[in-house]
Structure 1
């Protein structure tokens, strides 16, 4: 048991069928904190209902280390909802999200903590290299820039999920009830002082990626729809442009017929207008509007969030007391608010 004055860091590790990596991830994370005497950690594994031996491996790890917490969902709710739940359960002064495949090296955690102590509430890694193959790397870079260009919020380019988040933001994230969250965008939209640092992403240590190109494209579209109204505004802009173009064509047709006696084939103008206004625009923009309406429909149904099938938490009592001190409301009877302001 560490001193109650140590900085508690919540390490968030989402997993799905990572039996070959969970022990390696645990060993490398704990090795980092063994070299940080003034820091303690809790490691929260959110298991998206793995079907291999991932859960059994996690139980073995938690049995010998009470810093390890396990949250196993009743089914696979998707990466983003799993991550959001991890942030909402974090008890630390700050949290650091890291993937179990160790492509984001845990050895960079001390550097992230140094930047946090300098007064930055969010510290995120900027990927200099992407060892995922040309096609995947290209799609990633395109969507990073597309989301940034279209978003109403400032999203960092080439920044993935490897990030540190301060307690202030963690408290705000506990209030989020989003059925299709885009966590990267949620954190960026909160503001505060955010800083990035460049790093090289490593190859996956073992196993195969659970995030194929199809899911990557879906994540990119999710980010655009969650943080931008540009697609809806495009419908008005393109509709106006095509409408004006159609009026010009009609005027040109009338001038040609009245002044020059030009006769186009019967039904030409009508067919042109129908093709321009009826088929292309309706199909395209009804689809966009349908995406937004679908999200609204799912959100207002107020379905329950991710259901936890099993939770393992053997955290010592003193950490529960620290957590209570960090998160209690200002109007509660309290002798002292234990909260550390980070100064630059």
Structure 2
């Protein structure tokens, strides 16, 4: 029976006291159907919840030895919490799923079938989401933009609900990224990736931890971490602005040389050019600053996260130092 593959189900949590028990039962029920084929490791990564989430997780770990729990010393952010979980699981493959069960746990069985066929990453592709139409359009636009400008293989509308093979997990353990975009990292490190379309249901309990401001931050991390296009765009805009200014200089000099300079004093022209150049430089410096800021973060050596408490782990938590 120990020859059965071990599947780690990663559940990142932050203030999910209303969903912890529901998620545990749902995942357990799914794996009860394939108990003769797979072993289960249910791995909760608590990003320093401030409600009863950790208390409930401790109770689950006390009565179920297959439940593993790590609690971070403070809120390090969703991406770091997930990457820390991947680095500490023991499974032959790991499945990440949200605690609110908006993603159907039953789909894990389909993930496992494709994994058995040789795919090292299987992602859930969201056809429909229960959210505002404007936000849905913004998400679709972002995913398509990221795929077009990225050198990595990205799948449109793929979320965090996914299966990752052990080979990819080992590559993730080597990543040293201060601002990880885990979704993009998994795709970049995959050799054979595929997806399964599904409809995402509405959240029943609790509140979403991802307001528009944080979603925008994720989008910026995804673009900057996986593409040099913004930097190249800044270069092209700067060159176009220089060419435009050079042509205007030629035009003014030509008019003056031909004796046709009958315009009034050029205060307005100078003001427009001055303000325009200031605005353009500010925009380009801002783009450059995004990359310079990340270079600064990369050269500082700090732990990716700090684990405050771990429950039911067979070994010491991965405390490899990462650039952060």
Taking structure 1 as the reference length, what is the TM-score of the superposition?
0.87
The 2-side partners of 1:205 and 1:4 are apart by: 37
Give the C-alpha shift of residue 249 in structure 1.
1.7
The 2-side partners of 1:85 and 1:263 are apart by: 69
Matching residue of 2:274: 274
The 2-side partners of 1:252 and 1:314 are apart by: 73
Matching residue of 1:91: 90
Give the C-alpha shift of residue 167 in structure 1.
0.8
Q: In the alignment, does 2:214 pair up with 1:215?
A: yes
Over residues 73-104 of structure 1, what are the superposed CA-to-partner deviations in whole Å (9 max), with x where a residue is unaligned?
00000000000011111111111000001111
Does structure 1 conserve the Cα–Cα contact (< 8 Å) formed by 2:121 and 2:190? no
Matching residue of 2:155: 156
Moved more, 292-301 or 139-148: 139-148
Q: Secondary structure of the residue that 1:303 maps to in structure 2?
A: strand
Give the C-alpha shift of residue 293 in structure 1.
1.2
Does structure 2 conserve the Cα–Cα contact (< 8 Å) formed by 1:66 and 1:314? no
Which residue of the other structure, out of 10, 33, 36, is the alignment partner of 1:12?
10
Q: In the alignment, does 2:65 pair up with 1:29?
A: no
Matching residue of 1:236: 235
Give the C-alpha shift of residue 292 in structure 1.
1.2
Matches within 5 A, 1:174-323: 174-259=173-258, 261-268=260-267, 270-277=270-277, 279-313=278-312
Give the C-alpha shift of residue 306 in structure 1.
0.6
Does structure 1 conserve the Cα–Cα contact (< 8 Å) formed by 2:168 and 2:190? no
The 1-side partners of 2:274 and 2:239 are apart by: 15
Q: Secondary structure of the residue that 1:216 maps to in structure 2?
A: helix
Matching residue of 1:143: 142
Q: Secondary structure of the residue that 1:241 maps to in structure 2?
A: helix
Does structure 2 conserve the Cα–Cα contact (< 8 Å) formed by 1:242 and 1:276? no
Matching residue of 1:133: 132
Shift of the 157–214 alpha-carbon distance from structure 1 to 2, 3 Å rule, reads same
Shift of the 152–264 alpha-carbon distance from structure 1 to 2, 3 Å rule, reads farther
Q: Secondary structure of the residue that 2:190 maps to in structure 1?
A: coil
Matches within 5 A, 1:114-133: 114-133=113-132
The 2-side partners of 1:113 and 1:263 are apart by: 78
Shift of the 273–24 alpha-carbon distance from structure 1 to 2, 3 Å rule, reads same
The 2-side partners of 1:72 and 1:174 are apart by: 19
Does structure 2 conserve the Cα–Cα contact (< 8 Å) formed by 1:14 and 1:83? yes
The 1-side partners of 2:190 and 2:49 are apart by: 34
Over residues 173-198 of structure 1, what are the superposed CA-to-partner deviations in whole Å (9 max), with x where a residue is unaligned?
11122221001111111130000110
Does structure 2 conserve the Cα–Cα contact (< 8 Å) formed by 1:139 and 1:217? no
Give the C-alpha shift of residue 172 in structure 1.
1.1
Gaps of 5+ in 1: 321-344
Give the C-alpha shift of residue 134 in structure 1.
2.0
Gaps of 5+ in 2: 316-324
Does structure 1 conserve the Cα–Cα contact (< 8 Å) formed by 2:69 and 2:313? no
Does structure 2 conserve the Cα–Cα contact (< 8 Å) formed by 1:94 and 1:167? yes
Counting matched residue pairs gives 313
